[in-house]
Amino acid sequence: MLDCAAAQFALQVSGRPQAQVTGMHELSIAYQLVEAASNAARQNGAARVTVVHLQLGSFAGVVRDALEFSFGIAAEDTPVAGAQLLIEDVPLTIFCEPCAAEAILPDNRMFRCPRCNTPSSRIVRGRELLLTAIEIEEPHGTPPG
């Protein structure tokens, strides 16, 4: 596993209504992911990326299925072609003042603490779209010269 600090990026995703999802959004994200992973592979002298690790918040406004599908398309003819996309789901989490604690929301449309029912808009987690690591094919030997 290769820590992907060099390639780490976070996309700003606005609170886009789910109804607008067409797949084009996911495709453009997939291209950025593939580019970042390709760059990281190059920087580490790897010819091929085998696994791409991604954190995806449930409130990131990204449809997971569409992203997985788009990833395969975006990866074609790149070092990322054929790589596995491993998505770690990040649940939407708010901070509740009265409870002085974080709370995972069961429903993205109800911004209320599930413990005390106090409304809160302090999102702690759940908007992530983060390339966390890639796994690469180890370079076989060193090139002559």
Under a CB-based contact definition with an 8 Å cutoff, are residues 50 and 136 in contact? yes
Instruction: Name the residue number minimizing CB distance to Zn ion.
Output: 113
CA distance readout (Å), 104 to 2, 27, 119: 30, 29, 13
Distance in Å, CB of 60 to Zn ion, minimum: 24
Distance in Å, CB of 57 to Zn ion, minimum: 21
CA distance readout (Å), 44 to 4, 49, 50, 130, 131: 10, 11, 14, 20, 16
Nearer to Zn ion, 34 or 105 (CB): 105
Measured CA to CA, the distance from residue 120 to residue 32 in angstroms comes to: 32
Nearer to Zn ion, 11 or 99 (CB): 99
Nearer to Zn ion, 115 or 122 (CB): 115
Distance in Å, CB of 91 to Zn ion, minimum: 16
Q: Please, which residues bridge with residue 119 across strands? A: 112
Chain position carrying tokens 């060099």: 6
Chain residues binding Zn ion by CB under 5 A are 96, 98-99, 113, 115-116, 118
Nearer to Zn ion, 16 or 115 (CB): 115
Distance in Å, CB of 44 to Zn ion, minimum: 45
